[in-house]
């Protein structure tokens, strides 16, 4: 039990888990380019989610992004999905723009 708690605590309190990220070197799939079109965003995020599905740190990654108000796709969750789930972005420019159009 103590080993489990140590593991969870370590993964929630530092960034070591990033060493096991399946997305290393693929930043272009996880963050939008300026003025990205909706169809392009959808295709990019679908490709990123495919990578996340087999990633061993998916849940830690998702929680990290939620706790730190991150932008982009983390743990198979987009910033729009985090925002909708109640994990507000600090400045949700993309969400606001898409919701007002």
Footprint on this chain of ligand SF4 (rule: CB under 6 A): 21-23, 30, 51-52, 55, 57-58, 61, 74-75
Shortest distance in whole angstroms from residue 12 CB to ligand SF4 = 14
| Of 74 and 96, CB closest to ligand SF4 | 74
Phi and psi, residue 55, nearest 5°:
-85, 135
| Of 32 and 75, CB closest to ligand SF4 | 75
Shortest distance in whole angstroms from residue 65 CB to ligand SF4 = 8
Shortest distance in whole angstroms from residue 37 CB to ligand SF4 = 22
Cβ distance 83 to 50 under 8 Å? Answer: no
| Of 22 and 89, CB closest to ligand SF4 | 22
Q: DSSP string spanning 28-56?
A: HHHSPPTT--HHHHHHHHHHHHHHHHT-T
Locate 1 and state its tokens: 């039990």
Question: CA-CA distance, 40 to 38, in Å (whole number)?
Answer: 5
């Amino acid at each position: 039990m103590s080993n489990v708690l140590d593991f969870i605590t370590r993964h929630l309190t530092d960034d070591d888990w990033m060493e096991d990220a399946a997305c290393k070197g693929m930043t272009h799939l996880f963050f939008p380019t300026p003025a990205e079109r909706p169809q392009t965003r959808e295709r990019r995020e679908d490709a990123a989610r495919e990578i996340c599905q087999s990633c061993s740190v998916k849940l830690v990654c998702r929680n990290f992004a939620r706790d730190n108000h991150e932008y982009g796709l983390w743990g198979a969750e987009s910033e729009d999905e985090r925002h909708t789930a109640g994990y507000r972005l600090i400045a949700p420019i993309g969400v606001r723009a898409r919701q007002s159009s």
